[in-house]
Amino acid sequence: MRILFLSQRVPYPPNRGDKITTWRLVERLGRSHEVRIVAFAHDDGDLDAAEVLRKMGFPTTAVRYHDRAAKLGALPLLLSRKPLTLGVYGSRAVQAAVDELAPDSDLAYAYSSSMGAFLERHPRLPRIMHFGELDSDKWRQYAQRSRPPMSWVYAREHRTLLEFERRIARSFSANVVCTPLEKEILERAIPGATAEVLRNGVDLAYFVPRWEGREPGRLVFTGVMNYLPNSEGVSWFVRAILPLVRRQAPEATLSIVGAHPTPEVRRLAEVPGVEVTGFVPDTRVWLGKASVSVAPLRIARGIQNKVLEAMAMGLPVVGTTCATQGVEGVDGLHFRVRDDPEGFAREVADLVREPDKALALGRAARAFVEAHDDWEVVFRPLDALVARCAGGARPGAR
């Protein structure tokens, strides 16, 4: 079967959240099908990655994406009823590539609703819409955490994008989300639509526990640091939580590990006990040195790869409800969950001061992801989903 796969970024290498999932999807689909990729290239690294994919046997069309120009070009949509997202990720070149490949494809798989827009011209083609997260709900959360005028812009994006997502969800052959919570949100927000859950996984052979060599008191946060949920969450941790931790455990320090730190994030390195690394070639080095992983996200949906990866390495995790709920573990058994600064700090300090507790929690975390989050396990429903959609079934709407 010929499958046309669309993604906002070239799906390789798996070095950030969306690329981890899209690469795993492409690799899994490619075992039984011919997968042709159309994606945006955000930098020279993406263009190089597209060439690597071609050599792997995945024909890839990579269209250069210019972030600033795309955002400026989308501004006129503020005078319309269309979501800005469709302007930011609108592209004649991508549409032309899709229009060329779609007639010769047996099925199309779009990762993120903005990529699903390129398939609206092809209603006869079986189409799967994989909502990496329900983007309209993300903008709702942004609006709640922001001040005017951006809160108004985000609220508008929530409303307009939800209308678009309703159209997509009701017309595609199937909708996919990564957690039962997102399934509930989608089906409540879009009456008549249904969704299937296809969880994210973690590479258990790559992220392996390192029980020795951990530095007492070292905390770690990982993630792409120009992504608002990450930058907002870690800033909140440094300003509101870390001082409370250090009162109880003075040896505690924080390593903020991830590419593209914003100026605000870089300034956090001025706070005693905080370092900002920027891009690192291998996050396992930093996870392996840490004694506790923190996930203080206040804007989040889906499954946080940072949480899965830390758990896979046997690290105890302290996170907020929205950072951990997609993992579906048990608070106190597989990780610890607190949403208030005092409670969050108390849990972190307790694990710093009690290494035996930290070790036990980390071992339980590793056992949990081994049982629930192996990629081979979580993607078992994928083959049947593809076959059903290609065969003409329409489970996407009731």
Q: Is the dihedral of CA 166, 198, 157, 99 positive or negative?
A: negative
pTM attached to this predicted model: 0.91
What is the predicted pLDDT for the residue at 363?
97
Cis peptide bond upstream of 13, omega within 30: yes
What is the predicted pLDDT for the residue at 300?
83
- Cα torsion 59, 3, 177, 13 to 10°: value is -20
What is the predicted pLDDT for the residue at 301?
77
Residues of the chain with pLDDT under 70: 393-398
Give the separation between CA 186 and CA 196, rounded to whole angstroms. Answer: 10
Give the residue among 284, 297, 290, 373 at the shortest CA–CA distance from 329.
Answer: 373
Sheet containing strand 196-197, edge to edge, reads 60-64, 34-41, 2-7, 107-111, 127-130, 174-177, 196-197
Q: What is the pLDDT of residues 114-153, one digit of tens each?
A: 999 999 999 999 999 999 778 899 899 999 989 999 999 9
What is the predicted pLDDT for the residue at 148?
94
What is the predicted pLDDT for the residue at 133?
78
Give the separation between CA 326 and CA 302, rounded to whole angstroms. Answer: 5
Which amino acid, one-letter code, is at 361?
Answer: L
What is the predicted pLDDT for the residue at 395?
43
Identify the structural domains of the chain with CATH numbers, from first to last: 2-198+379-390 (3.40.50.2000), 218-372 (3.40.50.2000)
User: Which residues contact residue 39 at a Cβ distance below 8 angstroms, ignoring those fewer than 6 apart?
Assistant: 6, 7, 8, 9, 10, 11, 46, 50, 60, 61, 62, 63
Q: What is the pLDDT of residues 271-306, one digit of tens each?
A: 999 999 999 999 999 999 999 999 999 998 788 999
What is the predicted pLDDT for the residue at 391?
87
